[in-house]
């Protein structure tokens, strides 16, 4: 508590950190409000610009962009029925009908209040759960870390809808890319093809930008500008306090669902939004009207997808496993600034971690202010033609990738993986398992070797250690359960044989 209070005071009294948070929130709103531009792209472009900044300012700015983008995604969802972020898809169900009734600002007010509530609840969970989980993770060894990395890749591959084998193949491709270069133990070259440039391996950030950003930019080249005629009256935005109090359990329930979904790697805000929407519809006496312009539907969607932000940061900071594509980019940004997320992060960099956590609290407060007073500017941002914006962002991506290392080879790697990622997108081949394979591949290899050295080459160490065995069992379940469910559903839809009632 003493460290938290001192860190909070340091954040609130440091104009530089507050300015960084403000810039991050504004950029987050812009990237969230423009359809096709995501927080992943925003963090990727922002990372090179944070080089001159201290780590706490840089990470605070990138985290604030992440939080702001989730709120910004509701703007086009409400006005145009075009979700600015994947998690804002559910917001369109009730937000756009309210716009058609002439209640666009009122719908946005509900979305903003729910976003701030979801962000604050997720921050509270991050501040309380993350230190406890980090202390727990400090007690596990190499065998447990190896199985944890394996479980992380398997879970993400297994939740790919109807494409478990493709997900596993993608994870293996990512692991294959992660081992390119010289072996750290034996010194032997792996997949370098006698190339000096490949001897250093495939850098994480160019790979992340290539897989996650370039395909999105290419896919937005044909989008046209949108026409927005909404006039802004700030007095029409905030919902009545009495109405907000009647929705208090919807706010809290949806935010907690978002936190829980965010902790599970790769599920993301869209899954949380759908689950929260379903639960809100069940508990609301006006549930039958959901989909026709009910504030409860907007609250469920926005509170949950903003709750995901703090939830996704919990496994990132405590275990080094990103919860979604944005936290994967944040992981790269942390590593560039010399910060290695994991169980020892709270022990080795406690003040820095608490500064980042307190900065997230300030970010959610600033989101409320920026979202309220800046809504007119964000409405105008939707007028920008994507055919002009996307090429400019592509150029900035190339410049930013080059600035990361000063090597043109990283730019080539980024563009090649970006083209490959776009082809995968066209072929409906999952890309995110590849990203996780690149991130967790080195951890899996290093800890697997270390565990085998400790056991003298005995593979049973992964079964005899209880925590490792639990992780291994969860890995097997992650592979088997989706297949069994798919077969059960297929059998349930099969027509009954003749004569069978």
Helix axes 104-137, 91-100, angle to 10 degrees: 160
**Rounded (5°) CA angle 35-38-39:** 145
Angle at alpha carbon of residue 75, lines to 71 and 76, rounded to 5°:
130
Angle, helices 204-212 vs 408-426, to 10°: value is 30
Percent of the chain whose pLDDT exceeds 70: 86
Q: Tell me: the pLDDT tens digits for 70-104?
A: 888 888 888 777 777 767 878 888 888 888 887 88
**Least reliable range by pLDDT among 1-10, 266-275, 358-367, 491-500:** 491-500
What is the predicted pLDDT for the residue at 374? Answer: 80
pLDDT in tens, 225-264: 555 555 666 666 788 888 888 888 989 999 998 888 888 7
Residue 417 is predicted with a pLDDT of 92
Task: Please report, for residues 183, 207, 301, 340, the alpha-carbon distance to residue 201 in angstroms, rounded to integers and kept in the order given.
Answer: 10, 11, 41, 19
pLDDT at res. 228: 55
Closest to 264 measured CA to CA, from 208, 304, 321 = 321
Could you give the CA distance from residue 439 to residue 18 in angstroms, rounded to a whole number?
A: 31
- Confidence grade of residue 497 (pLDDT, cut at 50, 70, 90): very low
- Left if phi > 0, otherwise alpha if psi is -120 to 50, otherwise beta: which for 2? alpha
Question: pLDDT tens digits for 259-285?
Answer: 888 887 656 666 678 778 888 888 888
Average pLDDT of the segment spanning 41-64: 86
Say whether pLDDT at 23 is over 90.
yes
The residues, any chain, with a CB within 8 Å of residue 449's CB and separated by 6 or more, are 185
pLDDT at 222: 61
pLDDT in tens, 127-144: 888 887 777 766 778 888
Distance CA 371, CA 2 (A): 32
Residue 488: pLDDT over 80: no
Report CA torsion sign: 265, 268, 274, 279.
positive
Q: Which of 292, 307, 252, 298 is nearest to 91 (CA)?
A: 298
Check residue 49 and give its pLDDT.
82
pLDDT (mean) for 372-376: 80
pLDDT for position 494? 47
Which two tokens mark 445? 């290899």
Highest average pLDDT, of 16-25, 31-40, 167-176, 402-411, comes from 16-25
On average, the pLDDT of the chain sits at: 81
Please tell me the number of Cα atoms within 13 Å of 310 on its side-chain side.
33
Residue-wise pLDDT for 417-470, tens only, equals 999 999 988 888 888 788 878 878 888 888 888 898 888 888 899 998 888 898
pLDDT of residue 501: 40
């Amino acid at each position: 508590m003493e460290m938290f209070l001192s860190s909070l005071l340091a954040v609130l009294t440091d104009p530089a950190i507050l300015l960084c948070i403000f810039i991050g929130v504004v950029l987050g709103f812009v990237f969230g409000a423009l359809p096709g531009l995501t927080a992943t792209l925003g963090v990727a472009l922002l990372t090179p610009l944070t080089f001159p900044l201290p780590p706490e300012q840089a990470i605070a700015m990138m985290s604030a962009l992440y939080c702001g983008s989730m709120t910004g995604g509701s703007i086009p969802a409400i006005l145009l029925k075009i979700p600015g972020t994947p998690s804002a898809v559910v917001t369109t169900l009730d937000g756009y009908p309210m716009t058609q009734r002439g209640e666009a600002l009122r719908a946005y007010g509900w979305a903003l209040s729910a976003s701030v509530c979801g962000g604050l609840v997720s921050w509270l969970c991050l501040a309380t759960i993350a230190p406890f989980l980090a202390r727990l993770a400090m007690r596990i060894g190499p065998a447990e870390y190896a199985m944890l990395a394996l479980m992380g890749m398997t879970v993400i591959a297994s939740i790919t809808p109807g494409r478990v084998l493709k997900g596993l193949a993608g994870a293996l491709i990512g692991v294959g890319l992660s081992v390119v270069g010289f072996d750290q133990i034996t010194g032997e070259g792996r997949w370098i093809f006698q190339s000096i440039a490949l001897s250093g391996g495939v850098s994480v950030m160019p790979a992340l930008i290539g897989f996650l950003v370039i395909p999105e930019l290419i896919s937005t080249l044909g989008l046209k500008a949108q026409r927005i005629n909404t006039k802004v009256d700030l007095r029409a935005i905030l919902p009545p306090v009495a109405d907000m109090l009647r929705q208090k359990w919807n706010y809290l329930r949806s935010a907690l669902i978002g936190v829980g979904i965010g902790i599970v790697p790769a599920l993301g805000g869209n899954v949380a939004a759908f689950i929260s929407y379903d639960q809100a519809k069940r508990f609301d006496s006006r549930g039958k009207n959901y989909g026709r312009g009910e504030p409860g539907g907007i609250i469920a969607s926005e509170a949950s997808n903003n709750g995901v932000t703090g939830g996704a940061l919990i496994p990132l900071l405590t275990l080094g496993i990103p919860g979604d594509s944005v936290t994967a980019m944040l992981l790269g940004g942390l590593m560039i600034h010399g910060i290695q997320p994991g169980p020892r992060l709270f022990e080795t960099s406690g003040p820095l971690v608490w500064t980042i956590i307190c900065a997230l609290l300030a970010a959610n407060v600033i989101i409320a202010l920026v979202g309220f007073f800046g809504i007119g500017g964000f409405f105008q941002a939707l007028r920008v033609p994507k055919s002009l914006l996307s090429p400019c962002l592509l150029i900035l991506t190339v410049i930013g990738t080059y600035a990361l290392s000063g090597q043109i080879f990283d730019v080539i790697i980024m563009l090649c993986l970006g083209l490959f990622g776009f082809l995968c997108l066209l072929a409906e081949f999952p890309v995110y398992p590849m990203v996780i394979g690149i991130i967790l591949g080195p951890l899996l290899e290093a800890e697997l070797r270390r565990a085998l050295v400790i056991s003298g080459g005995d593979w049973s160490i992964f079964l005899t250690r209880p925590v490792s065995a639990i992780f291994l069992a969860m890995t097997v379940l992650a592979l088997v359960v989706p297949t069994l469910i798919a077969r059960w559903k297929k059998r349930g839809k099969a027509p009954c044989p003749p004569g069978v009632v």
